[in-house]
Structures are given as structure tokens and as C-alpha cells.
Structure 1
Amino acid sequence: MGRGHHQLDVWHDAISLVEAIYRFSARFPPDERFGLTAQLRRAAVSVPSNIAEGAARTSRRKEYLHFLSIARGSVSEVETQLIIAVRLGLAPADEALDDHVQRVFARLNALIKKLSLSDPSQV
């Protein structure tokens, strides 16, 4: 397990976010299993998956940034779906989970900025 993404704090945070999302969505009613539960879990899994896929393409910085951008979009999906779940009364608001989402988003932004500024000719 020595791949480049294993060294990234944002990837570890994103893996933890997936675990938290699975625990959070386990409270949803059974009739949501193929609805919001599946959609929320898919979006959450997409975050570390895209970070890993992008990191595997480090020879092409533009591709890496593209996958990080997709991961960031998936974090926004997760955030939106959590709001919907709470507003529909599927589960109570979870401030720690909301903070976790914001932390992953901020770390992705920082990584994207760092890669974009490190050698603009490679983007």
C-alpha cells in the first residue's frame, strides 16, 4: 500500500468521510435504500476514489487537477444531500459530519491551489 494517494491527508479524510456517511445514512428508512441513501453513499465514495485516480496520473498534472475537481464536486453533492436528508427528516443534523465535509472540501481546495501554482505551464 505505497501508492501516492496514501500519503495525502485529504485522501485519509475522505475515506473517513465515507465511513461517517455510511453510518449516518444507515439511520434512513428502508424505503430510501435505493434513493437518497444510495446517492449519498455513491457521492461520498466518489471523493477518495477520484483523489486516488488523479494521483495515479501524476505524470499529467492537468488530469490530476481534473480528478481533484471532480472529487470537490462530489463533496458538494454530499453536502447538498445531507441538507436534503435533514430537511426531509430522515436523520437529525450532525455538526461533526458537517465539519468533516467542510474540512475535506478545504483540503481539496488547498491541494488544487498548490498544484495549480506549482507549475502553471503544466496545467
Structure 2
Amino acid sequence: MGLDAVEIILRAEELFAIDIPDRDASTVKTVGDFYNLICGKSGVPPLESPETSEKLPTITERERIFLFLARLKPLPAPNSVLPWSPQSVWDCTVAIFVDQMGLKPEEIIHGAQIAADLGVD
């Protein structure tokens, strides 16, 4: 697993306040696999063929602080961050690839191979 892949996993762990062990990360081959893994860890039923929303979400510094603190001790979740929906998980997953790799949202589709199609090493 290359540095780009590690960074994407770390961003997802931070954003969704989940842990993705190496053994789970090693099974991820497509964007859909990654999305399904995040949904499973978040307790959200995944969409079969998610479509990306026109406007991707952004995570504010306030939300980043909340997510960091939430990993340290239980806090009530603000409505703007949690609970996650299948669509918000997909859109945030796409946003991570767009932000981290400089990809276009339309390149990130459910069946895209992360290494071969998106160039994430």
C-alpha cells in the first residue's frame, strides 16, 4: 500500500470517526469496496449504485475538531455531521478522492479500480 492509499484511509478514518485496520484495507480494490467498508464500519446500509451529488460536502474546522474529540470521548453528534446516510457517506468518500488526489468527481465511480483506474498507489 502506497502513501496515497494510506493518506486516503487516514482521511476516511478521521472524517467518519472509524478505524480501518490494515487487514480490512488490504481487501479494498474498488471505490465501491471502500464505500462498502466505510458504510459497514459506520452502521449505514450502502447504496447499490450510488450517484454523486452535484455539490460535494466540505468539512469545516469545527466539524474536524468534533470528529477528533469524538474519537477521544463520546459526545452528542451535531446534526450537520452525523448521523450518516448512505448518500452522505458516498459523497464524502468521493470528496476524499477529489481532495486528496486532485481527481474529478465524475472519475470516481462505484466500480472504479482504485489503483488501475484512479492511479492511487
Normalising by the smaller structure, the TM-score range is 0.3 to 0.5
More helix by share: 1
TM-score by length of 1: 0.33
TM-score by length of 2: 0.34
Structure number with greater Rg is 1
